[in-house]
């Protein structure tokens, strides 16, 4: 793979290789949070219909997914990423819909991985995928420069897994994908499990046993109320504290230090055989140090997973000078005061009292989780 230098934005020229490099000065939002991570959704379609994300009742055959002309091209996506990197972004996570369905995803990975931060480091490229196509793509993705992968896996039980993806996809193929990712060195591979009470919460300990000693980090995500599924209720959420209690009764857990920006609180099984994470987006929202910008494949910048407003960056692509695009992103980030996960926690109580939802939801498969 060719290691090309990042094409510098005029505002932040790349110093010559012999000079000391300078990291991009942090762009801070209204709450003092730096712009560090980009979640880039590269497609809004998916081959699964997870009941908690894209239920068939809502995302049927006639669902108006974005037409190819509405999706940003690879060149446009790269231009966007370059602008974000010029503003201090160090890590880009490709997501979707299902990112591996995007044609030529390997080449997009390669082009992003060739970019350099202001102080000359390679931009970290990661991906969140349902794993259905990973067994045959893991090696090529690694060769293209993908650093890490997170695979969604909600159950080891084939029947439960098929029912949750709702397209009868066998769990064995995703497990093969995880093995292929480990073998390709996409480490540490993370496995994400959305826990839904009464559906797959009995799978927590079997998943834990399965991944002990594998090097995989296993994370449990609280079931969030997002646009699409109609079956969400607070009673179907298993709070992380409860899950941690269940795991703690079976295994001694050592807490690990939380790093700024981490979405999960992390633990190690006392025998060192597995790292675990709990993502408490419902019970303990973590907006305070959120450094993530999200861009959907139609070129809209979402400053918070649950924000109702988004900024159209597409108008700054095309013939616009690159510094205009960077300036639009900078201004949007500097104006950002969003902390909707925290605010929603309060509004949820009002919702329970009134029986009517008091907060907006997000189309997860467009914004990318």
Ligand X SMILES: C[S@@+](CC[C@H](N)C(=O)[O-])C[C@H]1O[C@@H](n2cnc3c(N)ncnc32)[C@H](O)[C@@H]1O
| Contact footprint for ligand X (CB under 6 A) | 46, 52-53, 95-96, 98, 128-130, 152, 192, 194, 221, 223-224, 226, 364-365, 368-369
**d(C-alpha 39, C-alpha 41), whole Å:** 6
DSSP 12: B
**d(C-alpha 190, C-alpha 171), whole Å:** 16
Q: Give the H/E segment covering residue 346.
A: helix 340-354
- Contact partners, residue 43, CB within 8 Å, separation at least 6: 71, 96, 97, 98, 99, 101, 102, 297
365 makes contact with ligand SF4 (CB under 6 A): yes
Beta carbon of residue 281, minimum distance to ligand X (angstroms, whole number): 7
Task: Tell me whether residue 96 or residue 118 sits nearer to ligand SF4 (CB atom).
Answer: 96
Q: Pick what 54 binds: ligand X, ligand SF4, none; C-beta below 5 to 8 Å, kind-dependent.
A: ligand SF4
Task: Tell me whether residue 29 or residue 98 sits nearer to ligand SF4 (CB atom).
Answer: 98
Task: Tell me whether residue 53 or residue 105 sits nearer to ligand X (CB atom).
Answer: 53
Q: Which stretch binds ligand SF4 (CB under 6 A): 49-57, 229-237, 312-320, 354-362?
A: 49-57
Q: What string marks each residue from 130 to 159 as x (binds ligand SF4 by CB under 6 A) or -?
A: x---------------------x-------
Beta carbon of residue 162, minimum distance to ligand SF4 (angstroms, whole number): 13
Interaction with ligand SF4 in 177-206: which residues (CB under 6 A)? none
Between strands 148-152 and 124-129, the pairing is parallel
The answer to whether the beta carbons of residues 74 and 108 sit under 8 Å apart is yes
Beta carbon of residue 172, minimum distance to ligand X (angstroms, whole number): 17
Task: Tell me whether residue 55 or residue 120 sits nearer to ligand X (CB atom).
Answer: 55
279 makes contact with ligand SF4 (CB under 6 A): no
Residue 208, both tokens: 């834990």
Q: Pick what 368 binds: ligand SF4, ligand X, none; C-beta below 5 to 8 Å, kind-dependent.
A: ligand X
317 makes contact with ligand SF4 (CB under 6 A): no
**d(C-alpha 238, C-alpha 369), whole Å:** 19
Phi, psi dihedral angles at 367 (to 5 degrees): -85, -25
Beta carbon of residue 147, minimum distance to ligand SF4 (angstroms, whole number): 20
3-state secondary structure 197-258: CCCCHHHHHHHHHHHCCCCCEEEEEECCCCCCCCCCCHHHECCHHHHHHHHHHHCCEEECCC
**d(C-alpha 77, C-alpha 141), whole Å:** 18
Q: Which stretch binds ligand SF4 (CB under 6 A): 32-40, 45-53, 114-122, 236-244?
A: 45-53
**d(C-alpha 8, C-alpha 19), whole Å:** 15
Binding site for ligand SF4 (CB under 6 A): 46, 48-50, 53-54, 96-98, 130, 152, 364-365
């Amino acid at each position: 793979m060719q290691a090309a230098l990042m094409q510098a934005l005029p505002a932040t020229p790349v110093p010559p290789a012999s000079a000391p490099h300078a990291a991009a000065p942090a762009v801070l939002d209204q709450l003092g949070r730096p712009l560090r991570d980009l979640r880039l959704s590269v497609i809004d379609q998916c081959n699964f219909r997870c009941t908690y994300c894209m239920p068939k009742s809502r995302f049927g055959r006639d669902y108006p997914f974005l037409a190819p002309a509405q999706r940003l091209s690879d060149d446009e996506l790269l231009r966007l990423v370059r602008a974000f990197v010029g503003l201090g972004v160090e890590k880009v996570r490709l997501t979707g819909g299902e990112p591996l369905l995007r044609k030529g995803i390997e080449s997009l990975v390669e082009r992003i991985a060739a970019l350099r931060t202001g102080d000359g480091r390679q931009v970290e490229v990661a991906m969140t995928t349902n794993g259905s196509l990973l067994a045959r793509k893991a090696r090529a993705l690694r060769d293209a420069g993908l650093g890490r992968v997170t695979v969604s896996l909600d159950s080891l039980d084939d029947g439960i897994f098929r029912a949750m993806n709702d397209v009868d996809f066998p769990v064995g193929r995703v497990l093969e994908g995880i093995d292929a990712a480990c073998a390709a060195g996409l480490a540490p591979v993370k496995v994400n499990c959305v826990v839904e009470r009464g559906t797959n919460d009995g799978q927590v300990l079997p998943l834990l046993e399965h991944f002990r000693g594998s090097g995989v980090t296993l994370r449990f995500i609280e079931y969030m109320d997002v646009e699409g599924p109609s079956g969400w209720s607070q009673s179907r959420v298993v709070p992380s504290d409860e899950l941690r209690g269940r795991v703690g009764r079976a295994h001694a857990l050592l807490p690990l230090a939380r790093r700024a920006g981490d979405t999960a609180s992390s633990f190690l099984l006392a025998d060192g055989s597995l790292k675990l994470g709990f993502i408490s987006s419902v019970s303990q929202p973590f907006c305070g140090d959120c450094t993530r910008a999200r861009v959907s494949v139609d070129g809209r910048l979402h400053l918070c997973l649950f924000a109702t407003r988004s900024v159209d960056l597409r108008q700054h692509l095309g013939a616009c000078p690159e510094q205009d695009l960077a300036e639009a992103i900078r201004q949007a980030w500097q104006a950002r005061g969003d902390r909707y996960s925290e605010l929603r926690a309060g509004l949820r109580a009002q919702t329970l009292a009134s029986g009517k939802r008091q907060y907006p939801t997000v189309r997860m498969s467009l914004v990318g989780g």
